[in-house]
Amino acid sequence: MTKPYIYITRKIPDAIIHPYADQFDFKMWEKADEPVPRDILLKEVERADGLLCMLSDNIDEALLNVANQMKVVANLAVGYDNIDVAAAKDRGITVTNTPDVLTETTADLTFALLMATARRIVEADSYIKKDLWKNWAPYLLAGSDIHHKTIGIVGMGRIGEAVARRAKGFGMSILYHNRSRHYETEKELQATYADFNELLTVSDFVLSLVPLTKETEQIFDRYAFEQMKSSAIFINASRGATVDEDALFEALQTNQIQAAGLDVYTEEPIQANHSLVQLDNTVCLPHIGSSTGETRSAMLNLCLDNIAAVFSGNAPKTPV
C-alpha cells in the first residue's frame, strides 16, 4: 500500500522525521532559512496528503482549491492566521497548531525582551562595540526599573499567564485585559482585570499577547499610544498586525512613549531600513519567540504526531 505523502515547507532535521518514516513518504523544501516558492508549493499541494507548514506560509483558499487529496495541515505555530481555516473545514481538511509546548519558552523571550528594552541592553552592548565608552557617568544609558512596576498584559492566554508568573517574581503589579476574565489566574497571581483603556493609562509596561483576529487587528493604534504614560514601554510578542506601526513610530519618535520591544511585524521579514529599526529606543528581534532547539523540536514532533493521528483515524492532539 502506498504511504501517505507529506510535504514539509522547510528543511528540518532528518532525525525529527525518522521515527515516522515507516508511516509516511516525506519531501521537504531544501532550504531551512528561505520559504518555498508559491509555484512549487502549489505543485506539491496538488498531490500531498498532508502538509506541515510554517506560520509564514500563506495557506489560503486558492492553495486549498488545488489540494485534491489533502487531509491535514499542521501549522508550526500557535497562531493560525496564515491559514484559511473556514476554507479548510469546508473541504474536510483538519488544521492543527502547536500550543502548550512553546508557552514557557515564548514567555521567557517576551520577558527577556521587556528587560532588554527597559534596561537598554542592546543599546549598551552597541555602545561598547562602537568604542563609545570613555568614562563612567551617573546616568550613562540609564534605563527603567522593572521591579515593583505595573505590567499590563493584553491577552491572558497560556503565554500571558506564563509572563504574569515571571512578573510576579519581580514584585510587579499585574493588570490584564482579555475577552473573558480568568478568575483562577487572578487568585493565583494576584492579577487584576482592567478594561483596555484603563490598562493603557495605568501600566508602565504594555504587552501585546493577543491572537490576530478582526477584533485585534491594529488594536494598538494612535489613540492607544496616546493613552499610555510618556514613560511607558510597549512590547509586542504576538502578531505584528495587532499594531499600527506608523502610529507606533510616531509615538516613539516624539517620546509619547518611552520605548518599544518588538519580536513581530506587519510585514516579515522586516528590513534594516524600516523606520522602527532606525530608532534607538526600539529593540527589534526577528520573530524568535519560541526559538530554542528544544522547543522547536517539540513543536515539530507535535505537528507530526497530529498528522499521524489523523491518518490513523484518531483525533489530533491539538486541532484548531
pLDDT digits 0-9 by tens, 171-208: 999 999 999 999 999 999 999 999 999 999 999 999 99
5-101+293-311 shares its CATH topology with 103-284 = yes
**By CB neighbour count within 10 A (0-12 exposed, 13-18 middle, 19+ buried), where does 303 fall?**
buried
Concerning whether 287 is annotated as a catalytic residue, the answer is: yes
Average pLDDT (245-249) is 98
pLDDT given at position 20: 97
Q: Is 87 strand, coil or helix?
A: helix
Residue 4 has pLDDT above 80, yes or no: yes
**Candidate list 268, 274, 294, 296, residue with the active-site label:** 268
Give 320's DSSP letter: -
Concerning whether 184 is annotated as a catalytic residue, the answer is: no
CATH topology of domain 5-101+293-311: Rossmann fold (3.40.50)
Concerning whether 182 is annotated as a catalytic residue, the answer is: no
Q: Is 74 strand, coil or helix?
A: strand
pLDDT given at position 69: 96
Q: Is 163 strand, coil or helix?
A: helix
Residue 1 has pLDDT above 90, yes or no: no
Q: Are 61 and 43 in contact (CB under 8 A)?
A: no
Dist CA 213 CA 242 (whole Å): 8
Which residue's entry shows cell 555602545? 127
Dist CA 53 CA 7 (whole Å): 8
Give the cell for residue 133. 565608552
- Residues 91-134: tens digit of each pLDDT: 999 999 999 999 999 999 999 999 999 999 999 999 999 999 99
pLDDT, averaged across the chain: 97
Give 18's DSSP letter: G
pLDDT given at position 24: 98
Q: Are 238 and 287 in contact (CB under 8 A)?
A: no
Name the strand (E) or helix (H) holding 76. strand 72-76
pLDDT given at position 187: 96
Compute the CA torsion angle 64, 70, 76, 80 (nearest 10 deg).
Answer: 40
In sequence order, the β-bridge partners of residue 235 are: 207, 261
pLDDT given at position 9: 98
pLDDT given at position 18: 97
Percent of the chain with pLDDT over 90: 99
CATH, range 103-284: 3.40.50.720
Residue 247 has pLDDT above 80, yes or no: yes
CA 297, 298, 301 angle in degrees (round to 5)?
A: 85
**Candidate list 166, 239, 245, 296, residue with the active-site label:** 239
The amino acid occupying position 153 is: I
Residue 310 has pLDDT above 90, yes or no: yes
Average pLDDT (16-41) is 96
Dist CA 153 CA 155 (whole Å): 6
Domain ranges of the chain: 5-101+293-311, 103-284
Phi, psi of 191 (to 5 degrees): -85, 150
